[in-house]
């Protein structure tokens, strides 16, 4: 690298510095959210959004600083996998948390899922006595909706 | 379970992606590496068989590029919103679980919509009902009926944008009719 920094170098350095600081602030925001939000589901919001942006900004500044084109595909792959996996893990944790009642109902203004889950649970208990025809494990796997009569999608 | 044959055209996006990951990890996009990557991609796709993703059969790059930019902007907005809520409101934040009925019944569309709305402001997928393609969404900082309406609209808009990019022709026609009506 040149000993004399050019104008372009200064711009790149400034941009990557800003990206790094904002990215670190986003990760800090995720941590604050995890500590301060009242229940599991709002914590999942904190764990998904700022963290994805924080990683994006930090990867971008790494790319800017290394200044070789071949790091960009690796960074892109890293970020895409993050974008693909974070919503899935948040959904799985949120779903399990909802089912195991790890949430504060008094903080919900509306809950349109409660009735559905309740109905599915009632139906399952009602169907128990004559469940000889149908595999109970199979039923449990399907009880996730209003039309949960085992109908294939 | 019998294996359904997948046409090479249907498998092509997966293969291209695998080759891209291979070359990115080797940090080498030379023709030799591309060829070897393609070979490995085909072998992997044959050995580790997965049910094929049913693509809509069209992809509009003209719509995809603005969508990607808007999406990135929304991720930024979402992050600052969550940061603000975490610092300012913290334990007093109120939420809601809202059911949103989607238009499309294809797995790809439901998954893509779920991913997009998980990353844009104030929404997270709690539950998916595949048979009716309904998403149950946990909204952060939902305080009134209006917030619920706007959350629902946001999800439906995200789905509409995705249908315009890569939905099937039938979905697109239905959407056009709905917007026109």
Report the complex ipTM.
0.78
Q: What is the mean pLDDT of residues A56-60?
A: 91
Calculate how close chain A gets to B75, using CA atoms only, in Å: 7
Pairing verdict, β A108-111 and B95-101: parallel
Which region among A114-118, B69-73, B138-142 has the lowest average model confidence (pLDDT)?
A114-118
Residue B32 in tokens: 């030799």
* Residue B2 confidence (pLDDT) above 50: no
Q: By CA distance, what is B115's nearest residue in A?
A: A87
Q: By CA distance, what is A34's nearest residue in B?
A: B86
Model confidence at A134, pLDDT cuts 50, 70, 90, reads: very low
Calculate how close chain A gets to B178, using CA atoms only, in Å: 24
Calculate how close chain B gets to A51, using CA atoms only, in Å: 8
Which of A37, A56, A84 is nearest residue B90 as measured by Cβ atoms? A37
Residue B21 in tokens: 């990951």
> What is the spatial order of strands in the sheet that B95-101 belongs to?
A108-111, B95-101, B134-140, B123-129
3-state helix, strand, coil in chain A (%, to 5): 70, 5, 25
| Residue partners of B75: CB distance under 8 A and separation at least 6 | A49, A52, A53, A56, B119, B120
* Residue B89 confidence (pLDDT) above 60: yes
Map out the domains of chain A as residue ranges. Answer: 7-103, 110-153
The residue with tokens 């790809």 is B108
* Residue B149 confidence (pLDDT) above 50: yes
* Residue A18 confidence (pLDDT) above 90: yes
Calculate how close chain B gets to A65, using CA atoms only, in Å: 17
Q: By CA distance, what is B112's nearest residue in A?
A: A84
Answer with the residue of higher pLDDT: B2 or A87: A87
Q: By CA distance, what is B120's nearest residue in A?
A: A49
Pairing verdict, β B123-129 and B95-101: unpaired
Residue B94: list chain A partners with CB under 8 A: 107-109
Q: What is the mean pLDDT of residues A72-92?
A: 88
Answer with the residue of higher pLDDT: A103 or B68: B68
pLDDT at A137: 46
Model confidence at A131, pLDDT cuts 50, 70, 90, reads: very low
Which of A53, A77, A107 is nearest residue B76 as measured by Cβ atoms? A53
* Residue A1 confidence (pLDDT) above 90: no
Exposure letters B5-16 (e unless 16+ CB within 10 A, then b) = ebeeeebeebbe
With CB atoms and an 8 Å threshold, state whether B24 touches A56. Answer: no
CA distance B135 to A133: 31
Residue B128: list chain A partners with CB under 8 A: 91, 144
């Amino acid at each position: 690298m040149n000993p004399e920094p050019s104008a372009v170098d200064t711009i790149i350095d400034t941009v990557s510095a800003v990206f790094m600081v904002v990215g670190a602030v986003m990760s800090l925001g995720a941590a604050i959210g995890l500590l301060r939000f009242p229940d599991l589901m709002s914590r999942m919001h904190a764990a998904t959004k700022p963290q994805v942006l924080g990683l994006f900004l930090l990867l971008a500044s790494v790319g800017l600083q290394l200044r070789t084109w071949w790091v960009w595909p690796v960074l892109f792959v890293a970020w895409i996998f993050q974008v693909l996996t974070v919503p899935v893990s948040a959904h799985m944790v949120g779903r399990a948390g909802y089912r195991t009642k790890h949430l504060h109902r008094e903080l919900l203004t509306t809950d349109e899922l409660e009735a559905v889950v309740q109905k599915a649970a009632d139906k399952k208990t009602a169907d128990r006595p004559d469940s000889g025809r149908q595999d109970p494990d199979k039923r449990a796997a399907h009880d996730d909706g209003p039309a949960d009569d085992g109908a294939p999608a | 379970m019998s294996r359904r044959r997948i046409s090479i055209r249907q498998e092509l996006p997966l293969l291209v992606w695998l080759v891209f990951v291979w070359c990115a990890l080797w940090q080498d996009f030379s023709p030799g590496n591309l060829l070897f990557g393609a070979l490995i991609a085909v072998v992997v796709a044959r050995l580790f068989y997965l049910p094929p993703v049913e693509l809509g059969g069209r992809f509009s790059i003209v719509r995809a590029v603005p969508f990607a930019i808007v999406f990135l902007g929304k991720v930024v907005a979402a992050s600052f919103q969550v940061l603000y809520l975490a610092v300012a409101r913290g334990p007093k934040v109120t939420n809601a679980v809202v059911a949103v009925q989607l238009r499309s019944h294809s797995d790809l569309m439901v998954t893509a919509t779920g991913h997009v709305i998980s990353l844009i402001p104030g929404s997270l997928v709690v539950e998916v009902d595949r048979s009716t393609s309904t998403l149950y969404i946990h909204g952060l900082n939902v305080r009134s009926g209006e917030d619920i309406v706007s959350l629902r609209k946001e999800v439906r808009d995200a789905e509409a944008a995705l249908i315009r990019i890569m939905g099937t022709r039938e979905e697109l026609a239905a959407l056009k009719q709905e917007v026109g009506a």
